[in-house]
Amino acid sequence: MKANQCAYRWTSGKFVIVDNTVAYHSREPFNGKRIVYAAISKGSKPVTDTTTHLVLNSGDKLPSLGLGLWKMPADSCSDIDYNAIKNGYRLLDSACDYGNEDKTGQGIKKAIDEGLCTREDLFVVSKLWNTFHRPEHVKLACQKSMADLGVDYLDLYLIHFPIAQPFVPFESMYPPEWVNCDDSVNGGTPKMLLDSGVTY
């Protein structure tokens, strides 16, 4: 990737179209206003190599090709995950905030039950959400994600964003999403949390 990467200097009025069937896109630090309208792709690209991986410092092998679960509709997520595994995907990139880890777990279970793979064949990723950053909440959040995914371990557990937010209990709102003060009352406590009985 390093040999083929390119970077565009962003200036006022600049417009770049990226075809995600042939290239990845990412962002580097930038001062000023920049808007991403869409990542455009057309058609489909077959999974051609599911054996390539990156070796992490721990020695674990991270598949270089994976299925991202962000914005995947909950009603079709389990089928999509199952079919991805059936077609060779072994990395599943999930997160508490995506709101579909329980459905992803159903897809994983179906694939394992049918002998398409073993748990050890999969590289399952999840992420710690902003409301669970305090030390006493990390383990519970990780266990909740594992339970929803139907696995007894995660291959990688990341901090989703380095932005801490007030703790929100599972029973009040899960996933907590972006709890902020935009719709707040009483000096900054989000109204939806006041209504749910959460206190700070």
Q: Using one digit for the tens of pLDDT, what is the confidence trace for 104-158?
A: 999 999 999 999 999 999 999 999 999 999 999 999 999 999 999 999 999 999 9
pLDDT at residue 99 tops 90:
yes
pLDDT at residue 173 tops 60:
yes
pLDDT: which is higher, 57 or 19 = 57
β-bridge pairing 184-185 and 189-190: antiparallel
Please give the pLDDT value at position 53: 85
Residue 186: pLDDT band with limits 50, 70, 90: very low
Three-state SS sequence of the chain = CHHHCCCCCCCCCCCCCCECCCCCCCCCCCCCCCCCCCCECCCCCCCCCCCCEEECCCCCEEECCEEECCCCCHHHHHHHHHHHHHCCCCEEECCHHHCCHHHHHHHHHHHHHCCCCCHHHCEEEEEECHHHCCHHHHHHHHHHHHHHHCCCCCCEEEECCCCCCCCCCCCCCCCCCCCCCCCEECCCEEHHHHHHCCCC
Q: Where are the chain's structural domains?
A: 49-164
Give percent of the chain above pLDDT 90.
50
The pair of three-digit structure tokens given for residue 33, joined into one six-digit string: 């206003």
Residue 3: pLDDT band with limits 50, 70, 90: confident
pLDDT at residue 188 tops 90:
no
Q: What are phi and psi of 86, to 5 degrees?
A: -60, -35
Architecture in CATH for domain 49-164: Alpha-Beta Barrel (3.20)
Please give the pLDDT value at position 178: 84
Please give the pLDDT value at position 134: 95
Q: Whole-number mean pLDDT of the chain?
A: 81
Which of 37, 98, 153, 200 is the catalytic position?
Answer: 98
Give the integer Cα–Cα distance in Å for 101 and 147.
9
Question: Is 98 tagged catalytic?
Answer: yes
Please give the pLDDT value at position 28: 62
Residue 187: pLDDT band with limits 50, 70, 90: very low
pLDDT at residue 62 tops 70:
yes
